[in-house]
Structure 1
């Protein structure tokens, strides 16, 4: 019997391709809406390149901007931006699932495949349960964080209720989605010493960026950590490790820097160092002047931004799970162990291959993007590397050169944002029309490595 060939339509609607197309569709619609004259605060409509860059940055929850969000865009434009990063932060997994329902007569299997394509961590029977967790956590956390910010801005900064409401809501939603957008020209620098503002923001960033599979696991097994999945244990361990390393390193590297945390009290130094550690990995907010950080702190940011947050959440980067699997793989190899193990479990060979693939593809994309940016600009290599990794890792931080880049370099950043958010694995998979198992295996041989 001859094998059945997949039709072109089914190939196009492959789950990985559908995820990619959904992102592209959201970006296109967002660009068109931001080009409307009503979306701009000044006269006339926004140029297409400004609207497109902003739409990509919002949908990919990066936070990079070539114009001041609070003054360039009107209230309507700011609402569009908020809706875009709300969609990009958590809605793409749900949206891709709904797309699968519309294009397949057997929605159950396609729905499960679609969700796993984006998350790559969920069991087949968990789709409905995870969807409920996504909706519940998103609504509850954003309402709580926004309410805390609104009250603080109203009574701590004497803002009018309307201004406090919009600022609190915008920043609360942006923090949960790890979007990094702010309606203040200085980001969050005006709140650098205020724990009642930075504290809720950090909480929203961590909860949104830790990943919905982890939240789902914690919801059902929070009383018994022994039965948490290996993914949950690795993500929580890696997140804590990176937060501590980032916090301690920032505190030491910036302690005497008069342009960052140097003038703060001990409490202020601790608060801002912790915020840098939390925000650097994917959130994109800055309470300090990023351009004033030491070169060593920039190098620390390279590391944190590239790793990012948890899988299947609002964070970007190559993900904490990838970092932890690779760390365990190196550890096992150094110890001479045949298996990669953690918490009494063996890490599957496929997960190890995926982690290596993500690292190699991610590093390649960042390297190529950096080379192109260096060709197109005259900025120092340190700042260019920072921009490239921040774009790919959905971190959104900048040393202050984003708006000064030529349009061609800004489009390169937009491509890096898209590749980083959609995921190199998803994009690579979307180019493959189907999977097949080879009916044979070649003889095994061991080339020399190292």
Structure 2
């Protein structure tokens, strides 16, 4: 009724709606930081560890950040150090973090899409039309349904496998649940006795991990678009087409090149038969850009393979997904810009669509910021640790790309506190950084009343 004062709930909803419209980057940072602190508190309870001892704050914070940011890097072995309660806290962090990532990044992607390349008055008009809480609730329900279906299917595949491994029904159900959550959310945590390396020849275990990783890594916007236009692929958006094309191309390159690079390495692929080699090639096609679950010993890989995986980890997966990195669409836009420039084309085009220069500017900014962040972290780590540069680069990109592959640095019992904080910051920055930067850059666009004379400096 007119004149009625809004209730506390209505004021809170209005506040959230305002933040979602006007400060989405701030919302993302606040939500993820809050989740991390909650999971940190749960992990510091004595009931969370097998020994009953309270873990150090940095170990709990590191693990909580890795869970909520769905990374998978860990300073403790998940199945031997943490109790079922501790593992449940990690799974909760993964679930809430993964769900939040898919939802918030989808919202931020909408912000970017609505604002890039529009005039100021169009921006002002679109602000008033931005999705309300009701629209966000609809999106959230759709994401929850997709997550429930995907994780349910993974559970049904994992559960009988754990039973055949001699586990009790209850523990097999729990481990299957944990692995389903970790796999789809690209988290990289595992609850397999003796580790995933003990299942290096196990197609039953490796195949669902690879496929579940791929589905989670392409992102909710792509999944939704494919479903809505499942009978008309020609109606798919440019984002969907770019994501699928780039992601699958990188998957083929990743699986093939890593297998070739490790072919004569007896500690990895070189020691496997043909069937196991194919299974791990399939897993390598997807794990180094998102989930980080590997049956191969990463620390035993060739240095050239590390460099190759650095590239794939930095690129990451799809926008609006649980994977990290600068995102495949960012990489695709940069490649398309290069190709257009090399061919002398004025416009940057893909799938009969023109890509705006503003989009390219955001892509360049994201890639540059990611590169600078990693370089600064590596320089800091080089001055406080004795690890080789290639190890530090690998570990830093894995943390920033929220991948979770490790050369063994994070699990080193002698790892000091300072490097743990740096890796923690990298995971948080990598998870929230690219989407908040994209939104922030889009929000800052404004029209100008005057322009300076144009002059072009020499390039190259």
| TM-score, normalised with respect to structure 2 | 0.87
In 2, are the aligned partners of 1:68 and 1:185 still within 8 Å (CA)?
Answer: no
Say yes or no: does 1:421 pair with 2:426: no
2:109–2:439 Cα contact (<8 Å) kept? no
What's the counterpart of residue 249 of structure 2?
A: 241
Decide whether the 8 Å contact of 1:20 with 1:427 is kept in 2. Answer: no
Offset from partner CA, 1:282-327 (integer Å, 9 cap, x none): 1011111001111111111101100010000111110000010101
Alignment partner, residue 117 of structure 2:
none
Count, aligned residues = 424
Contact 1:419 1:427 (8 Å CA) reproduced: no
* 2:17 pairs with 1:26: no
Gap runs ≥5 in structure 1: 1-6, 97-113
Match of 1:225?
233
Q: Distance in 1 between matches of 2:357 and 2:441?
A: 23
Query: In the alignment, is residue 320 of structure 1 matched against residue 311 of structure 2?
Result: no
Counterpart Cα distance in 1 of 2:445 and 2:307 = 39
Native 8 Å contact 1:64 1:402 kept in 2: yes
Structure 1 residues 244 and 433: CA distance shift in structure 2, 3 A: closer
Does the C-alpha gap of structure 1 residues 174 and 21 become closer, same or farther in structure 2, counting only changes over 3 Å? same
Alpha-carbon distance, 1:221 to partner: 1.0
The separation in 2 between residues aligned to 1:63 and 1:255, in whole angstroms, is: 26
Structure 2 gap ranges (5+) = 1-14, 115-129
Q: State the distance in 2 between where 1:369 and 1:325 align.
A: 26
- Is the contact between residue 109 and residue 435 of structure 2 (CA under 8 Å) also seen in structure 1? no
CA distance in 1: counterparts of 2:110 and 2:398, whole angstroms: 22
Offset at residue 56 of structure 1 (A):
0.7
Distance in structure 2 (CA, Å) of the matches to 1:92 and 1:329: 28
Q: Secondary structure at the match of 1:346?
A: strand
Q: 2:86 aligns with which of 49, 56, 77?
A: 77
Is 1:54 equivalent to 2:63 in the alignment? yes
Determine whether 1:406 maps to 2:416: yes
Tell me if structure 1 keeps the 8 A contact 2:108–2:439. Answer: no
User: How far apart, CA to CA, are the structure 1 residues paired with 2:324 and 2:237?
Assistant: 22
Decide whether aligned partners of structure 1 residues 130 and 243 sit closer, same or farther in structure 2, where only a CA change above 3 A counts. Answer: same
- How high is the TM-score relative to the length of structure 1? 0.89
Partner of 1:440: 450
1:424 and 1:83 mapped to 2: Cα distance? Answer: 24
CA 92–269 in structure 1, closer or farther in 2 if over 3 Å, else same: closer
- Whole-Å separation in 2 of the counterparts to 1:419 and 1:159: 38
State whether residues 69 and 185 of structure 1, in contact with CA within 8 Å, keep that contact through their aligned partners in structure 2: no
For 1:370 and 1:131, the matched residues in 2 are separated by 37
Counterpart position of 1:117: 108
Quickly say closer, same or farther: Cα 1:433–1:248, change in 2 above 3 A. closer
Q: Structure 1 stretch 36-45 or stretch 427-436: which is displaced more?
A: 427-436
Instruction: State how far apart, in whole Å, the 2-side matches of 1:89 and 1:119 are.
Output: 18
Cα offsets for 1:375-422 (capped at 9, x unmatched): 110011111111000000001110111132211011000011011000
- Whether 1:285 and 2:293 are equivalent positions in the alignment is yes
Change (3 A) 1:272 1:80: same
RMSD after superposition: 2.4
Once the two structures are TM-superposed, the CA of residue 127 in structure 1 deviates from its matched residue by 4.9
CA displacement, residues 107-147 of structure 1 (integer Å, 9 cap, x when unaligned): xxxxxxx8532665677577565434311110001011011
Task: Give 3-state SS (helix, strand or coil) of 1:403's partner.
Answer: coil
The DSSP-based 3-state class of the residue aligned with 1:63 is: coil
